[in-house]
Amino acid sequence: MSTPGTTTLRRFRTAAWLGWQIEANWVDPFTFVVYSVLRPLATALILAVMYSAVAGVATSAHAFIGFYVANAFHEYVTRILVGMGWVVVEEREEYETLKYIYASPVGIFIYLWGRSTVKFAQATLSMVLILAMGWVVMGLRWDWGMVRWVPLVLSFALGLVAVVYFGFLVAGWALVLPRAAISVNEGVAVGLYLLCGVIFPIDLLPRALQALALALPFTWWYEALRRFMLGRGASAALGRFSDLQLVLALALSTVLLSCISVWGYHALERRARRQGKLDQATLF
């Protein structure tokens, strides 16, 4: 007899397997991997050439490695968070199967979470390749002795939780949007790239946006990853916080965002049902 835990695990595994089939069955695995890493590697190359173009004349070029590292970890946001919004678009618009997902016992959160595992794998591969390219090709080195593994792993895990839960909210948003959900999904990742100071310190943002940035766990996440991996952060404003405060702020904002996301998904889903948008295809 199956317990609720094993049932959930089985549903999760099925959704993950389906995600892999949908994402990858259009081509052989090698080509799939090549296509998967082209975009992130090109973005890393853009950053690297921007850096090399100004390295001789810029006054704070030494800060670049922190931005480069955060850009590598932003892959998780780009892939998982956007990917969850995409699941809704694909299921509703392209395959017209969203209604069957709702009619099945899988549970939408388990389904979305399972489908995002292939994105997690892609993001991990991209992140490792970006960091390896920085280390080997661009000479962006860090001292492994300075890495504080426990807070780094803890921060990394908290950030992933925030990404997955925010992904639920993005998926909920996609439910009420027409076909424009395609580019709105992508826009969320780009917005977070700007707002959370991935490639620059948030001190450069206007004050109102800084306040918004501090409410988002990703801002704390990138700063924690930089601090625990390289030994220093990027922002003077966040530099005032101790390591413990930084991790606590990340944990607190993650919990808050997760609660808002679950509540937000259900609210948006109710709205979509009322407006008849849950299965309304507007693209093809």
Partner 1 sequence: MRTALEPTPIPGAFALNLRATWARMYVRVVGSLREPAWIMSDAVFPAFSMASFVLLYRALGAPASFEALAVLGGILSTYWINVLWGMGAQLYWEKQSGQLQLYFVAPCSRLAILTGMAVGGVFMTTTRAVISIAVGFGLLGVHVQAFDALQLLLVFIVTMAALYALGMTLASLFLLYGREAWHVCNALMEPVFFLSGLYFPIRALGAFGAVAAGLVPLGLGVDAMRQVLLGPAAQGLLPIATEVAILAGLAVVFFFLARAALEFLESLSKREGRLTQRWQ
| Residue choice 200, 231, 277, 279 for contact with partner 1 (CB under 8 A) | 200
Binding of partner 1 at residue 39 (CB under 8 A)? yes
Binding of partner 1 at residue 64 (CB under 8 A)? yes
Interatomic CA distance for residues 279 and 217, integer angstroms: 32
Interatomic CA distance for residues 187 and 40, integer angstroms: 16
3-state secondary structure 22-45: HHHCCCCHHHHHHHHHHHHHHHHH
Stretch that binds partner 1, among 103-111, 200-208, 224-232, 240-248 (CB under 8 A): 200-208
* Cβ contact 253:220 at 8 Å: yes
Binding of partner 1 at residue 222 (CB under 8 A)? no
CA-nearest of 251, 259, 258, 78 to 158 is: 251
3-class DSSP state of 110:
helix
3-state helix, strand, coil in the chain (%, to 5): 80, 0, 20
Binding of partner 1 at residue 236 (CB under 8 A)? no
Binding of partner 1 at residue 43 (CB under 8 A)? yes
Write out the two tokens for 153.
Answer: 């792993």
Residue among 57 and 103 whose Cβ is closer to partner 1? 57
| Residue choice 168, 193, 220, 228 for contact with partner 1 (CB under 8 A) | 193
| Residue choice 199, 224, 229, 250 for contact with partner 1 (CB under 8 A) | 199
Binding of partner 1 at residue 51 (CB under 8 A)? yes
Binding of partner 1 at residue 137 (CB under 8 A)? no
In one letter, which amino acid is 161?
V
* Cβ contact 202:212 at 8 Å: no
Binding of partner 1 at residue 58 (CB under 8 A)? yes
Stretch that binds partner 1, among 12-20, 99-107, 190-198, 236-244 (CB under 8 A): 190-198
Residue among 16 and 234 whose Cβ is closer to partner 1? 234
Residue 95 CB contacts under 8 Å (≥ 6 apart), including other chains:
none
Stretch that binds partner 1, among 58-66, 107-115, 116-124, 152-160 (CB under 8 A): 58-66
Of the CA atoms within 13 Å of residue 70, those in its CB half-sphere come to: 30
Shortest Å distance, C-beta 45 to partner 1: 5
CA-nearest of 74, 79, 46, 48 to 61 is: 48
Residues that bind partner 1 (CB under 8 A): 26-27, 35, 38-40, 42-43, 45-47, 49-54, 57-61, 63-64, 67, 94-95, 177-181, 183-184, 186-187, 190-191, 193-194, 198-201, 204-205, 234, 283-284
